[in-house]
């Protein structure tokens, strides 16, 4: 799913953080893999068996032309087809907020993969809050460039919202990282409410026992 | 039809009849000790398979690509056709520097079992009677075709194919190869195809066969001995089929309601419209390069194709444990083998945990798109083969040519 809430894929710092969560030589499915930049990074640096799912024909074409195994499809309708525990990791990067049924998607991630890696823009970030509180309008910024009426991001959530959804579907948070507006990891630990305020993105490693 | 040179067409028909027993391409002959076992229960021996090759087999024998042709195709993928003199049917895809790069790969294409260009089929001479098999030839299946190809590939000294590639009926063979010989197929490209022939497609084929059999010159399939050819029936079959290979949008764009060499309607049944003239030409030029009985047999083989039926009705079961890397391609305007059928294959491959890429290409040119000059298709095949070659440890195709 092409959701340009962040700088272009090739310079995305958060990809390196995601790659660090992935064990070498594992089987990985990247949902919403765009032009395959993360898959290629994982293939090259972690030696993984990389697969992708991408909704835009241009994205799929680029991926296949790069030699990646990617199919055209979307997170809402095509995940049911995958068998249980087919992958070591299922990655959903910057996409969950654009799905029709985020809960079902998250459940599918945890079913298909032994672990799920999910990142998303945090709607609880102070910048968003200020724009809404003081501006009185839905926030539009360089990171969230869409107006309310044409945004693909139909299910925004905050870091705390996501944590409670993870809890609801029975997932264990193995690792949680908050990133700043540049996609750089916040270099300290803090209670959820702090991260929820100053984190521009949440990045989670989840599993289901 | 004043543009059709009848003497030339008769010459072509004579050539074609000659090709069915003694093809101008290489041919592999299997004696009575190597019968071809058929799904229908019988077997054929002796039998032969005609094929073409391009490029050079590497020392490790790891760079062979098998191309599977469609219903009315043949082994002449990238060379001039021995009967019509026209260029091969996939010269844009196969050749030096092309996505299926004959500078890097050893490319094989064989005429299908039941065909009429040199592989044993109804037009071949039955050694027991000295006359053409006609309807004495057993009904064959896609799996029989693939079994014959596998024997050819073995006879050529190749164990594992780097890739098996085909569109339409060729794509059915690709999937059958992957199902029956998973260890011998490193990668597979199935274009504009399905895991089974749909009811609608069987219906169109039946219309074609009935048209052939309704021609008085068909003579219960014994036309060759009587020195006739059910040309009218086969031409009608081809006309009907040809419509299914295009789309409403492409027909409209190409012909609209334009009139053929006239200013106004004639109030008769001549080819007033360009589309009528075009279809008549398609029909007429087909009958001299294709055997009517072969058309019956090969369409029947497609009708019988249902990959899951051989595996308890569960398509995913077909590919369980497969190590083959798959690439599935469909076209938005293909209503004969619609994207939903390719998706069913992709879903089954996913469910089986197989490695698969899938792209739906946006074009208004219908089922025949796989044979047409569609740059997107070249990019995908080239990219997929590049990745697969890297995995196989062999040189991939040359990087893209200009305009791709």
| Whole-angstrom distance, CA of residue A76 vs CA of residue A108 | 9
Q: What is the mean pLDDT of residues A7-30?
A: 82
Residue numbers of the domain that contains B202: 6-206+306-392
* Residue B220 falls in the annotated catalytic set: no
The whole-number pLDDT of residue B402 equals: 61
| Whole-angstrom distance, CA of residue B386 vs CA of residue B378 | 12
Residue B111 lies in a domain: yes
pLDDT at residue B1 above 50? no
Q: Which of A12-16, B175-179, B222-226 has the highest mean pLDDT?
A: B175-179
Structural Rg of chain A based on CA atoms: 16
| Interface predicted TM-score (ipTM) | 0.83
pLDDT at residue B282 above 90? yes
pLDDT at residue B277 above 50? yes
**CB A97, CB A156: distance < 8 Å:** yes
Is the pLDDT higher at B101 or at B225?
B101
Residue B16 lies in a domain: yes
Residue B278 lies in a domain: no
Q: What angle do CA B327, B328, B333 make, to 5 degrees?
A: 145
- Asked if A64 lies within 8 A of B360 by C-beta distance, the reply is no
- DSSP bridge pairs for B363: none
Task: Indicate the average pLDDT of chain B.
Answer: 95
pLDDT at residue A57 above 90? no
Residue A141 lies in a domain: yes
Q: Per the structure, how many domains does chain B have? A: 1
The whole-number pLDDT of residue A187 equals: 83
Q: What is the mean pLDDT of residues B185-200?
A: 98
| Whole-angstrom distance, CA of residue B320 vs CA of residue B315 | 9
**CB B163, CB B186: distance < 8 Å:** yes
Compute φ and ψ for A96, nearest 5 degrees. Answer: -60, -30
Residue B286 lies in a domain: no
The whole-number pLDDT of residue B11 equals: 83
Short-list A9, A60, A7, A74, CA closest to A37: A9
Reading the block at residue A52, the tokens are 């992708």
Q: Minimal Cα distance from B390: which residue of A?
A: A67
- Give the rounded distance of the alpha carbon of A123 from its chain centre: 14
Residue B279's contacts (CB-CB under 8 Å, 6 or more residues apart) are: B239, B242, B243
The DSSP line for A6-38 is SS-GGG-THHHHHHHHSPTT-EEEEET-TTSHH
Residue B289 lies in a domain: no
Q: How many beta carbons lie within 10 A of that of residue B225, not counting itself? A: 10
Short-list B349, B359, B180, CA closest to A86: B349
Mutate to test the interface with A, among B343, B357, B397 (most CBs of A within 10 A): B357
The H helix count followed by the E strand count for chain A is 8, 7
Residue B244 lies in a domain: no
Partner A contacted by B390 (CB < 8 A): yes
Assign A184 a pLDDT band (cuts: 50, 70, 90): confident
Count CB pairs under 8 A between chains A and B: 69
Residue B390: list chain A partners with CB under 8 A. 67
- Which among B343, B347, B357 is the nearest to A64, CB-wise? B357
pLDDT at residue B366 above 90? yes
For A44, B360, B404, the CA distances from A201, given in Å and listed in that order, are 25, 33, 39
The DSSP line for B119-167 is SSSTTSBPTTTSSB-GGGSPP--HHHHHHHHHHHHHHTT-SSEEEEEEE
Residue A1 lies in a domain: no
Residue A97 lies in a domain: yes
Partner B contacted by A64 (CB < 8 A): yes
Residue numbers of the domain that contains A125: 9-207
Element (H, E) at B49: strand B47-54
Whether the pTM exceeds 0.80: the reply is yes
**Sign of the CA dihedral B195, B200, B204, B205?**
positive
pLDDT tens digits for A136-157?
999 888 888 899 999 999 999 9
- DSSP bridge pairs for A54: A72
Residue A2 lies in a domain: no
Residue B265 lies in a domain: no
Residue A190 lies in a domain: yes
Q: CATH code at A90? A: 3.40.50.150
- Asked if A82 lies within 8 A of B388 by C-beta distance, the reply is no
Q: Considering the candidates B168, B194, B247, B330, report the single residue annotated as catalytic.
A: B168
Partner A contacted by B160 (CB < 8 A): no
The whole-number pLDDT of residue B401 equals: 65
What burial letters (b/e) apply to B62-83, b meaning 16+ CB within 10 Å?
A: bbbbbbbbbbbbbbbbbbebbb
- DSSP bridge pairs for A28: A50, A89
Residue B90 lies in a domain: yes
Residue A126 lies in a domain: yes
Q: CATH code at B113? A: 3.40.50.1820
pLDDT tens digits for B95-137?
999 999 999 999 999 999 999 999 999 999 999 999 999 999 9
SS3 B317: helix
Partner A contacted by B104 (CB < 8 A): no
pLDDT tens digits for B287-324?
989 999 999 999 999 999 999 998 899 999 999 999 99
Assign B4 a pLDDT band (cuts: 50, 70, 90): low
Q: Considering the candidates B101, B144, B334, B368, report the single residue annotated as catalytic.
A: B334
């Amino acid at each position: 799913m092409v959701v340009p809430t962040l700088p272009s894929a090739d310079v995305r710092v958060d990809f390196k953080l995601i790659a660090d969560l992935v064990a070498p030589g594992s089987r990985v499915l990247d949902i919403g893999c765009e032009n395959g930049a993360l898959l290629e990074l994982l293939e090259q640096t972690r030696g993984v068996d990389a697969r992708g799912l991408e909704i835009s024909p241009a994205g799929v074409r680029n991926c296949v032309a790069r030699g990646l195994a990617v199919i055209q499809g979307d997170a809402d309708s095509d995940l049911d087809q995958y068998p249980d525990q087919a992958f070591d990791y299922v990655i959903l990067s910057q996409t969950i907020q654009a799905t029709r049924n985020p809960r079902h998607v998250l459940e599918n991630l945890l079913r298909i993969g032994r672990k799920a890696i999910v990142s998303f823009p945090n709607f609880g970030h102070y910048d968003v809050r200020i724009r809404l509180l003081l501006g009185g309008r839905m926030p539009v910024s360089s990171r969230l460039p869409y107006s309310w009426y044409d945004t693909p991001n139909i299910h925004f959530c905050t870091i705390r919202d996501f944590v409670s959804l993870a809890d609801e579907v029975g997932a264990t948070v193995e690792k949680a990282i908050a990133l700043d507006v540049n996609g750089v990891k916040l270099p300290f630990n803090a209670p959820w409410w702090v991260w929820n305020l100053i984190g521009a993105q949440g990045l989670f490693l989840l599993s289901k026992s | 039809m004043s543009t059709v040179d009848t003497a030339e067409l008769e010459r072509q028909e004579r050539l074609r009849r000659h090709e069915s027993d003694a093809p101008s391409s290489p041919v592999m002959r299997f004696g009575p000790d190597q019968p071809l076992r058929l799904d229908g229960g019988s077997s054929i021996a002796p039998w032969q398979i005609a094929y073409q090759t391009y490029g050079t087999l590497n020392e490790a024998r790891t760079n062979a690509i098998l191309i599977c042709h469609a219903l009315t195709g043949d082994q002449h993928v990238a060379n001039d056709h021995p009967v019509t003199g026209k260029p091969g049917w996939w010269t844009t895809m196969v050749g030096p520097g092309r996505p299926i790069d004959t500078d890097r790969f050893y490319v094989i294409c064989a005429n299908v079992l039941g065909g009429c260009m040199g592989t044993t089929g109804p037009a071949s001479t039955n050694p027991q009677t000295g006359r053409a098999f006609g309807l004495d030839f057993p009904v064959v299946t896609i799996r029989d075709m693939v079994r014959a190809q596998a024997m050819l590939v073995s006879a050529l000294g190749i164990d594992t194919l780097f890739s098996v590639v085909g569109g339409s009926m060729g794509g059915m063979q690709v999937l059958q190869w992957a199902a029956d010989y998973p260890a011998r197929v490193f990668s597979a490209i199935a274009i504009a195809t399905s895991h089974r022939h749909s009811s609608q497609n069987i219906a169109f084929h039946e219309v074609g066969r009935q048209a052939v059999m309704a021609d008085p010159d068909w003579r219960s399939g014994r036309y060759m001995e009587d020195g006739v050819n059910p040309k009218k029936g086969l031409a009608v079959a081809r006309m009907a089929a040809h419509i299914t290979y295009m789309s409403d949008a492409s027909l409209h764009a190409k012909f609209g309601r334009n009139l053929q060499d006239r200013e106004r309607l004639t109030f008769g049944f001549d080819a007033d419209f360009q589309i009528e003239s075009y279809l008549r030409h398609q029909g007429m030029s087909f009958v001299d390069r294709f055997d009517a009985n072969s058309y019956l047999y090969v369409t029947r083989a497609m009708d019988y194709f249902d990959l899951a039926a051989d595996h308890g009705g569960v398509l995913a079961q077909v590919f369980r444990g497969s190590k083959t890397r798959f690439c599935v391609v469909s076209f938005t305007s293909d209503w004969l083998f619609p994207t939903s059928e390719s998706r069913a294959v992709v879903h089954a491959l996913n469910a089986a945990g197989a490695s698969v890429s899938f792209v739906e290409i946006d074009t208004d040119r219908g089922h025949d798109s796989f044979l047409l000059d569609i740059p997107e298709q070249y990019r995908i095949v080239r990219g997929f083969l590049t990745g697969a070659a890297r995995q196989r440890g062999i040189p991939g195709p040359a990087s893209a040519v200009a305009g791709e």
